[in-house]
Structure 1
Amino acid sequence: MPDETRVLYNADCPVCSFEIDHYVSYAGRKGLPIRFEDLNEDIANDWGLTQDAAARRLYVLKDGQLHSGIPAFIVLWKDMPRYRWLARLVALPGLHWLSNFAYDHMLAPLIYRWHLRRLGATSTQL
């Protein structure tokens, strides 16, 4: 489907799945062309990513372009009428910078460390 938006996320992550499950439900009710793909189904290679890279942040593929982190959220939110206002807000220059900083340096690394702990990773991998 040419206008389809694809979202790659970690369904085993309680934080990730809580948020994405909400989007899945909303997109389903509205019949939106958004496909949500669980990285745990061994599909990261289809995205050109390793499982580890895919687990580190949200990825969205739209119009042949791969987005990650806050830019991925913005693309996703733009495709959902209820969240377009949030996409516009987070895209504002100062807030965009702050959101990227918080996601890249605090939120995503913290969620990734939780992911590794759930997998039973050793402290040297953290």
Structure 2
Amino acid sequence: MTEDTRVLYNADCPVCSFEIDHYAKYSEGRALPIRFEDLNCIDMTDWGLSRDKAARRLYVLRGGQMYSGIPAFIVLWQDMPRYHWLARIVSLPGLHWLASKAYDYALAPLIYKWHLRRQAAATSTES
């Protein structure tokens, strides 16, 4: 496990926050060195991403390297003892390919579109 794992997520997204909140509680309860950063509340300079780009998928920084999508989940799971098995399974070549395609072309775009609709609804309510 590394000392500098950072997870960037969108806490305004109900799907994202539900999952990441679970990981954060698990990590906190075991004093794991993982920081969870809400893209809506931090300076994005360290990440080198716009908020919009960051809202499109999960990002993890570990050891100075950035991961996104399924590779980011795998890195996160590797740092949490309860989820080592999941990291190993999703890392298997065929399953990794399938999970990456499902996340990249179905799940992440769907969740991002939902995010945009929530933003548009919030903006129209404020007007």
TM-score (norm 2): 0.92
Summarize the alignment of residues 76-95 of structure 1 with structure 2, pairs less than 5 Å apart. Answer: 76-95=76-95
Q: Residue in 2 aligned with 1:98?
A: 98
Secondary structure of 1:40's counterpart equals coil
Q: Which residue of 1 aligns with 2:45?
A: 45
One-letter code aligned to 2:37: E
Q: Deviations over 1:52-78 (max 9, x none)?
A: 100000000000000000000000000
Q: Is the 8 A contact 1:44 1:54 kept in 2?
A: no
Runs of 4+ that moved beyond 4 A: none
Identity %: 72
The alignment of Structure 1 onto Structure 2 pairs a total of residues equal to: 121
Correspondences of 1:1-126 after superposition (within 5 Å):
3-120=3-120
Q: CA deviation at 1:42?
A: 4.0
Counterpart in the other structure of 1:124:
none
Point out where structure 2 has 5 or more consecutive residues left out of the alignment.
Answer: 122-127
What's the TM-score once normalised by structure 1's chain length?
Answer: 0.92
CA RMSD, aligned part only? 1.4
